[in-house]
Chains A and B, each alone.
Chain A
Amino acid sequence: MIDIQLKDSPIHPQDCIDFVADDGTGGSTVFVGTVRNQTKGKTVIRLEFESYAPMAISEMQKIAEQAQEKWSCKKISIHHRVGVLAIGEIAVIIAVATPHRKAAFEACEYCIDTLKETVPIWKKEFFEDGEVWVAAHP
């Protein structure tokens, strides 16, 4: 089972943990990505995430399906936030439940690594003296 959500309101790790909880799995891993207060020593004031929503959802679904197939995950939950986020707020949560722990760690890592490469979501960092689209330039 797969649960994908793209939300413009706060997201909660417990929701993802509850979704993947299953008596048939021996463990789950949860990755929580939060807004960092600095980039290369520069103070970040806030972040803004923009998405191409329908494709962001379908790409996250694809990633979850790939992970499910590769690691026999029973359940995966991916929630991603969009809109304006303050420092410390949660941007992304990935929870994966598998029969054995090693697969849960690997599948979770695969999901966040691939999400960062393929899902059409863009992060803009706001500094005291300007703003920048993250990772846009080499």
Chain B
Amino acid sequence: MKINILAFGIAKDIINSSTLGIEISEGTTVGQLKKQLTSQFPDFEKLRSLSIAVNQEYQEDDFLLNEKDEIVIIPPVSGG
């Protein structure tokens, strides 16, 4: 299935865009998506952390992704 991912902060610089459409297989988890992103864009490995938000909530590595989810790459935050 095809998913659209949003990127912010340094993640936007790493993928060189604020959105990324990628093909994933059914049953892909957040953890597998992170691996896929890191192999496609090795610079993600250099970050202090890498989180994925699904439908505006942080999700753990075992969380299953669906085609209609709003998926966002969350690099280390630095508000305040």
Chain A contacts of B56 at CB under 8 A?
52, 54-55, 58
Contact in complex: A122, B80 (CB < 8 Å): no
Interface size class on chain A is: 20 to 34
Q: Are B13 and A120 in contact (CB under 8 A)?
A: no
Whether A80 contacts B75 by the Cβ 8 Å rule is: no
**Would A116 and B79 be within 8 Å (CB), given that A58-B56, A122-B9 are in contact?**
yes
By the criterion CB–CB under 8 Å, are B13 and A133 in contact?
A: yes
Complex interface bits, A115-138 against B, C-beta within 8 A gives 1, otherwise 0: 111111111100000000111111
List chain A residues, Cβ under 8 A from B8: 50-52, 120, 122
User: A33 contacts B48, CB within 8 Å?
Assistant: no
Q: Are A33 and B80 in contact (CB under 8 A)?
A: yes
- B77 contacts partner chain A, Cβ-Cβ < 8 Å: yes
The reply to whether B48 and A119 contact each other, CB–CB distance below 8 Å, is: no
14 further A-B contacts with Cβ under 8 Å, apart from A58-B56, A121-B79, A122-B10, are A49-B79, A52-B74, A55-B53, A80-B79, A91-B79, A120-B72, A122-B8, A122-B77, A123-B78, A133-B9, A135-B76, A136-B9, A136-B75, A137-B47
Q: Which residue numbers of B lie inside 8 Å of A, CB to CB?
A: 6, 8-10, 13, 46-48, 53, 56-58, 72, 74-80
